[in-house]
């Protein structure tokens, strides 16, 4: 991690009760906060009928649990989870492609659920278990989903691949023997340009048979 200023006392409160605030939702709230000075402790304001803390617009200290490890950084509240992963923590497996929750190249797990890291604010990912593609290998050994991708040639340029691998893992964890409908639904949020879907389907079939 690059920006490893020590976290001071006033780490923002964890805000589990408002999990999953979208970027758009956040921007609405953030509009209220323009005049907030660069202080650490968040001001509480009324927004959308409830009291919410307002952070920023300057950098605020944040703390994350990614792949079981703690990461700290001072970030502006407008920084997305994807940009934090890629630019602060050098976890570049998740890719920025559409940047609008359309293509799934940035897919990571948050508390074991697939999320689009491009459209989730980093500040909202605090207190959650974030899992990225970098964590799937056990030492030198590929995860069964990754191994099946390799054997079935399910990547070409490979830019969509990490997102697909995570989405497939989440789908297989939930449906060890996925039906065509499970596959359709589980991978509906990911897009590929080179055309590797045939290999991905075969990879899923292989893992479904062998087990993950």
Partner 1 sequence: MPDYSWPPEDKRTLIGKRITRVDSPLKVSGQAQYTYDVHRPGMLYGKILRCPYAAAKIVSIDTSAAEKMPGVKAVHVIQGPNTTIHWSGDEVVAVAAVDEATAEDAIRAIKVEYRKLPHLVSDAEPPKGAAEEQGPLSVDDIDDMLDNQVPSQQMVKQIQDYGMTEKADERGLRMLKSDGASDAVLDAVRAATVHTDVAAKPHSNYQKAAAVTVGDPDKAFSEAEVVSEGLYGTPVITHCCLESHGSTSEWTDDQHLFVHMSTQNVSGIAGQMAEKIKLPATNIRLHQDHIGGGFGSKFGPDRWGIATAEISKKAGGKPVRIMLERDAELKVAGARPSAYARVKVGAKKDGTLVAWQSDSWGTGGPGGGGSPPIPYVINIPNQRKQHTGIRNNIGPARAWRAPNHPQAAVITMCALDDLAAKLNLDPLEFFLKNIELARPRHEIYREEFGIASDLMGWKQKWHPRGQGGSGNTARGMGLSMHTWGGRGHSSHCDLTIHPDGSVELKMGTQDLGTGTRTCILIVAADTLGIPMNAINLQIGDTMYPPDGGSGGSTTIGGVSSSTRRAAVDARDGLFAKVAPALGAQPDQLECANGTVRVKGDSSKSLSWKEACSKLGAVPLTVRGNNPDPSKPPDLTNSGVGGVQMAEVEVDTDTGIVKVKKMVAVQDCGLVIDLKTAESQCLGALIMGISYALFEEKVMDPTTGRMLNADMQFYRLAGLSDIPELVVHMMTGKGYDERGVIGLGEPPVISPGAAISNAVANAIGVRVPFLPLTPDRVLSALQQKAGA
Interface residues toward partner 1, by CB under 8 A: 76, 78-79, 83, 86-87, 90-100, 102-103, 105, 132-134, 136-137, 142, 146, 149-151, 153-162, 165, 183-184, 187-188, 190-201
Expressed in angstroms, the distance from the first to the final Cα of the chain is 32
Cβ-based nearer residue to partner 1, 9 or 140 = 140
Cβ-based nearer residue to partner 1, 19 or 96 = 96
Give whole-number Cα distances, 96 to 107, 148, 150, 158, in Å.
Answer: 10, 24, 23, 13
Grouping H, G, I as helix, E, B as strand and the rest as coil, residue 109 is: strand
Q: Find the DSSP H helices in 68-121.
A: 81-83
Rounded to an integer, what distance in angstroms lies between the CA atom of residue 13 and that of residue 181?
40
Rounded to an integer, what distance in angstroms lies between the CA atom of residue 206 and that of residue 144?
9
Q: Cα 64 from chain centroid?
A: 12
Shortest Cβ 51–partner 1 spacing (Å): 27
Cβ-based nearer residue to partner 1, 103 or 125 = 103
Cβ-based nearer residue to partner 1, 39 or 188 = 188
Shortest Cβ 174–partner 1 spacing (Å): 17
Shortest Cβ 49–partner 1 spacing (Å): 29
Cβ-based nearer residue to partner 1, 88 or 126 = 88
Give whole-number Cα distances, 2 to 6, 84, 198, in Å.
Answer: 12, 11, 39
Rounded to an integer, what distance in angstroms lies between the CA atom of residue 191 and that of residue 161?
10
Shortest Cβ 96–partner 1 spacing (Å): 7
Shortest Cβ 13–partner 1 spacing (Å): 24
């Amino acid at each position: 991690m690059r920006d490893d200023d020590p976290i001071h006392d006033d780490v923002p409160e964890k805000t589990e009760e408002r999990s999953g605030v979208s970027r758009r939702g956040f921007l609405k709230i953030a509009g209220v906060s323009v005049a907030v000075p660069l202080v650490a402790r968040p001001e509480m304001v009324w927004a959308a009928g409830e009291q919410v803390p307002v952070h920023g617009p300057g950098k605020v200290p944040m703390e994350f649990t990614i792949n079981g490890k703690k990461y700290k950084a001072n970030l502006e509240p407008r920084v997305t989870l994807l940009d934090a992963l890629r630019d602060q923590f050098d976890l570049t497996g998740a890719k920025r492609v559409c940047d609008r929750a359309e293509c799934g190249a940035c897919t990571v797990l948050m508390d074991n659920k697939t999320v689009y890291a491009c459209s989730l604010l980093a500040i909202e990912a605090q207190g959650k278990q974030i899992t990225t593609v970098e964590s799937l290998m056990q030492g030198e050994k590929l995860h069964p989903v990754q191994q099946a991708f390799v054997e079935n040639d399910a990547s070409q340029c490979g830019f969509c691949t990490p997102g697909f691998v995570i989405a497939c893992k989440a789908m297989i964890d939930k449906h060890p023997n996925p039906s065509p409908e499970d596959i359709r639904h589980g991978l509906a949020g990911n897009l590929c340009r080179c055309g590797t879907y045939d290999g991905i389907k075969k990879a899923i079939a292989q893992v479904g048979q062998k087990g993950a």
